[in-house]
Structure 1
């Protein structure tokens, strides 16, 4: 939640409670006094300054690019080195004067120029054509800059370079699981934890997705569908995020909550992918099978276990339903028939129940992103079932109607069982 939005809502609540006599004026004043001052935001002058700096940098790069072939090699290298020095010096000055946004921007520009310097040296001296290795070197330099300056932008540059690196390594050696990226990602997650930064946590959560996607599309797994491998990755991200968020540490809670949000949306997306990719709409292989690599299955099982562990500590019923949602999505893979004959009704039912559990989980725990993810998953599954090429549309309509009746009956039962205050 953004700090200013929270403060505005709290101020409105305090005024309303004070007017209703719920709290005394002295208590309201004490709460206001206990709040720390709001951090400095980005005003119009800062925004205009950022735009102006970016325009000047773009003009400089365009001028250098226009005369690139006419500039001597050492001069080219000196220009890039001077750019890094100037960016670092300006960043230090902005940080000393309290303009942290501009200091972060300078650190990011310095990290980008460092990557350009790597490309230039490789071009000038005709080094080995290991483009992935250059990306790794760029990522290391950007991570060092982020560690020294606390720049979220430099962390983003490093993660982008690391994602390109792992995708290229996976493409070059598809028979080998590229585990070194996991070490790089753990470093990024550690920085997000140390900084207690929600922005850094978002960057770390997004960065893990390309590795799972690149890994899942390695066709050397006999009979493994990419959607099933992705499902295990989403399960691990969701479950690990909930388990980390259950920690008493506020830093861990912030990091874990962000990871669990991305895990919930990834789980919903994978549920829709299982419907649309395993069937005849997008057939990746000549035969559809539910075989999965053992390490992937273990990751999915770990996600379920971690979610139950989190529910044990937090005592939240919604997290138990979240574990059920993860388990049902994972069970849909072996529920899919190996042969192409017939339709996987059990898998369809499991996926719909999983997304319903995800929605109810978000409602019980009052986590809105989980609710949105569940509804999106339901919409994607219904669309996949309805527009699939294979099978009879009449049977599909009958299945959806039966599923709707079951959902209505379940809602009626809940309405009668739950107390009025919890409905």
Structure 2
């Protein structure tokens, strides 16, 4: 159902069924859609998979550490393969076969990483695997920028993500150090993806940022540090407002606003959940000197989201409703952090209401991933409520009953109260 030709064919058949286009025009459009061949063939996929296999082969060759082969020979094999890939990339670029050139650039970057590992292995350099991964990522990022290689840019994003996980990052048993420079690298990658017009790399960048932000916020909350998680919430709500405002209007990200909103909503939900499961710690954190900073961050966030909502309302923006709800949800989120201790009941209600709002948002803007995310969040929240109150089933029943009544009220009562009367029909 995600195939472009299928989408076009279904749309044309729907237009014809509703009488928007006549049969002759519909047939002409269907023929044109069927003849519109994609520039990306299965051969391109096979070439990409072959280069990836060769890259893994080179790394396995280094890991094998053959004693029967001289050191110079090993270096010659790896570096010879690297320059072979670079030569093939240059050849295909000269022949204006852009995709093949980009893929062989990826192969050259893979061999560059294998060369780093080989030199470290041969000369027993006691360096950090984290530093080696960073060097590999920087070389790959430079190659992607010089050759406009989308696969190489994707590899650099993956390497930078792995770099944040390697020791001595927060996942080490000895330290909770956070890589605060990671967003700067992602900004550079985002600029390159925007320049290359690569939606694939854009997805990787936003996903990698979410993977970095959520565990970092959880780790710092566990260390009784609230500043970074607060900033994640603030930036998340501000970015969500910006994406909703840009959608169908400014188009700042060339149509990537909805996908960004999807990742932002997931990040906000995860951070709020982690904050909810340690409410006693959050109260202790906010009772310290960080309370004032937290309040300032919350006020600024609410002001920014409210400003987007006011401007959208004056412009009659199609996403005005969601922008208003975003401002309300940002205020309620910061308020819940202040009043949730010792029970996460307020967070449960907030996240449950948020999941329903997400379903409605995805349904209204016709972006299915957001709708699916809302349904998943709603199911997870229902399970969370059940397991949190499993010892008091009467309380669980009351919570679900209230939620059901409110949903029914939202379906049948609220639309009647907010319906605008037709002129001439008022009594």
TM-score between the two structures when normalised by the length of structure 1: 0.78
* 1:182 matched to 2:180: no
**Partners of 1:321 and 1:232 in 2: CA distance:** 15
Contact 2:238-2:304 at 8 Å conserved across structures = no
User: What's the offset of the Cα at 1:185?
Assistant: 0.8
**Partners of 2:143 and 2:336 in 1: CA distance:** 44
**Partners of 1:104 and 1:181 in 2: CA distance:** 25
* 1:319 matched to 2:323: yes
User: What's the offset of the Cα at 1:183?
Assistant: 1.5
Give 1:104's aligned residue: 102
Q: Which moved more, 1:20-29 or 1:400-409?
A: 20-29
1:230 to 1:394, Cα distance in 2 relative to 1, 3 A? farther
**Partners of 2:299 and 2:30 in 1: CA distance:** 45
The answer for unaligned runs of 5 or more in structure 2 is: 421-427
The answer for unaligned runs of 5 or more in structure 1 is: none
**Partners of 1:101 and 1:109 in 2: CA distance:** 13
CA RMSD of aligned residues (A): 4.1
Question: Which residue among 142, 145, 151 is the counterpart of 2:143?
Answer: 145
Question: Which residue among 217, 237, 240 is the counterpart of 1:238?
Answer: 240
Give 1:328's aligned residue: 332
1:123 to 1:336, Cα distance in 2 relative to 1, 3 A? same
Give 1:383's aligned residue: 383
Give 2:424's aligned residue: none
1:231 to 1:296, Cα distance in 2 relative to 1, 3 A? farther
Equivalent positions of 1:124-203 (< 5 A) are: 124-127=122-125, 129-167=127-165, 168=167, 170-171=169-170, 178-203=179-204
User: What's the offset of the Cα at 1:187?
Assistant: 0.5
**Partners of 1:57 and 1:408 in 2: CA distance:** 57
Give 1:78's aligned residue: 76
1:182 to 1:27, Cα distance in 2 relative to 1, 3 A? same
Contact 2:230-2:297 at 8 Å conserved across structures = no
Superposed CA deviations along residues 11-38 of structure 1, whole A, max 9, x for unmatched, are 4433554576533578669978999955
Give 1:298's aligned residue: 297
Aligned pairs, number: 407
**Partners of 1:411 and 1:21 in 2: CA distance:** 32
**Partners of 1:129 and 1:50 in 2: CA distance:** 31
**Partners of 2:403 and 2:18 in 1: CA distance:** 46
1:105 to 1:21, Cα distance in 2 relative to 1, 3 A? same
1:286 to 1:318, Cα distance in 2 relative to 1, 3 A? closer
User: What's the offset of the Cα at 1:96?
Assistant: 4.9
Give 1:68's aligned residue: 66
**Partners of 1:66 and 1:377 in 2: CA distance:** 45
* 1:410 matched to 2:407: no
Superposed CA deviations along residues 321-365 of structure 1, whole A, max 9, x for unmatched, are 34434443443322311xx4xx34333222222222222222232
**Partners of 2:415 and 2:327 in 1: CA distance:** 23
TM-score between the two structures when normalised by the length of structure 2: 0.77
Contact 1:143-1:158 at 8 Å conserved across structures = yes
Contact 1:336-1:344 at 8 Å conserved across structures = yes
Q: Which moved more, 1:173-182 or 1:161-170?
A: 173-182
**Partners of 2:163 and 2:153 in 1: CA distance:** 15
Give 1:363's aligned residue: 363
1:304 to 1:41, Cα distance in 2 relative to 1, 3 A? farther
Contact 1:225-1:288 at 8 Å conserved across structures = no
1:96 to 1:323, Cα distance in 2 relative to 1, 3 A? farther
Give 1:117's aligned residue: 115
Contact 1:355-1:377 at 8 Å conserved across structures = yes
**Partners of 2:296 and 2:286 in 1: CA distance:** 11
**Partners of 2:295 and 2:69 in 1: CA distance:** 51
- More relative contact order in 1 or in 2 (CA 8 Å, sep 6+)? 1
